[in-house]
Amino acid sequence: MAITAVILAGGASRRMGQDKALMQVAGRTQLDRMSALAHEAGCEQVLISRNGEGFIADEIADRGPLGGVLSALPHCLYETLLLLPVDMPLLSADALQLLVEQAGPAYFINSAMPCVLKNEPALRVYLTEQLCDDAGDRSVRGVLNWSGAAAIAWPYDYQLQNTNTPQQWQRALTFLGEQ
């Protein structure tokens, strides 16, 4: 099965105080690490949603992760999409492989991302409607509910923790044995 991974790396990183995508884990940036995990999980195409030269910039500014997804859709070559946050330094390729092996849209019970969605015209319509409406649902959980995504179990919930603050980052590095 051909899969497009979309790495969402366009956040402002305000709570972290520095660009999370460029922070180092095991000698490489989180952005490089997540790209390698996507390839290891079987993704044939890896796209990066990030406001900067050489990346896919948001078509609609300040709309969060779903704005990044909407902007990436025209570039996606495959029907299956794996959405990845850039800030999960404990995430494993095994977790991603379990997600992409599902028959349809899926996510882990305790975390909306990473997740798998179908790249279909209805997704673009849904995202456009939600993001252009001031009262629209701009949450990843909302698009998962809309898509009928299956919630699946993953026994290693610690891998699904975002690192949004310096304290969370330090805990992740300690867990990895890097500090």
Share of the chain above pLDDT 90, in %: 66
Across 144-169, average pLDDT? 91
Per-residue confidence (pLDDT) for residue 84, from 0 to 100: 97
What secondary structure, in 3-state letters, does 73-120 show? HHHCCCCEEEEEECCCCCCCHHHHHHHHCCCCCEEECCEEEEEEEECC
Comparing C-alpha atoms, which of 44, 19, 39, 43 is closest to residue 29?
Answer: 19
Across 150-169, average pLDDT? 90
CATH class for the domain made up of 3-176: alpha beta
d(CA 137, CA 129): 9
Across 7-22, average pLDDT? 76
pLDDT band of 11, cuts 50, 70, 90: low
pTM for the full model? 0.92
Phi, psi of 56 (to 5 degrees): -90, 115
What does the domain layout of the chain look like in residue ranges?
A: 3-176
97-120 tens-digit pLDDT: 999 999 899 999 999 999 999 999
pLDDT band of 128, cuts 50, 70, 90: very high
